[in-house]
Amino acid sequence: MARRYWEDSAAVLESLQEESPDPLHCLHRYPETFRKALENANRICLCSFMAAESDDLPGEMMQEVQTFAEVHIAWLSKVLSAAGVVDSKGSDPWTRAIFAAVAGAQLIARSRSDVSIYDTLIDGYRATGLLPA
């Protein structure tokens, strides 16, 4: 199940690029991938949920959860680089910060059952430059 989840997530990320050749537009739409879970009965990303319970996960499942994160980080690196925002060699800290911030925004919004909190946090990430506007 966790493998299929990250595979489906990777397909969604790739479809973002297929739908828009503009990497900045893809980056702008990236938070939508996490927002959809909140729109679906205030759910949270499956891999984020499992990562929070990592002490109780079997090693094979934890590897799938980590792969989910690495898929997102690799995609962000590729798109940030294509946008000319950062060199792919120096993108790792930024991509990990974006991934953590967006996943964290989802968690905070879920804890309040309020998707508008997610939107406000994402807008703040854009205003401060964490997410390219």
Q: What is the DSSP string of 62-124?
A: HHHHHHHHHHHHHHHHHHHHHTTSS-GGG-HHHHHHHHHHHHHHHHHHHHHT-HHHHHHHHHH
pLDDT the model gives residue 61: 79
Are 17 and 79 in contact by the 8 Å Cβ rule? The answer is yes
pLDDT the model gives residue 66: 87
pLDDT the model gives residue 47: 61
Closest by Cα among 18, 1, 121, 4 to 75? 18
Distance CA 40, CA 61 (A): 24
Distance CA 84, CA 35 (A): 26
Residue 31 has φ and ψ, to the nearest 5°, of: -60, -20
Neighbouring CB atoms inside 10 A of 75's CB total: 22
What domains, with CATH codes, occur in the chain?
2-128 (1.10.357.10)
In a structure prediction context, what are the per-residue pLDDT tens digits for the chain, which is 133 residues long? Answer: 778 878 888 999 999 999 998 999 999 999 999 999 889 888 877 667 667 767 777 778 788 888 889 999 999 999 999 998 887 677 889 999 999 999 999 999 999 999 999 999 999 999 999 999 7
pTM beyond 0.95: no
Tokens representing 101 are 């911030």
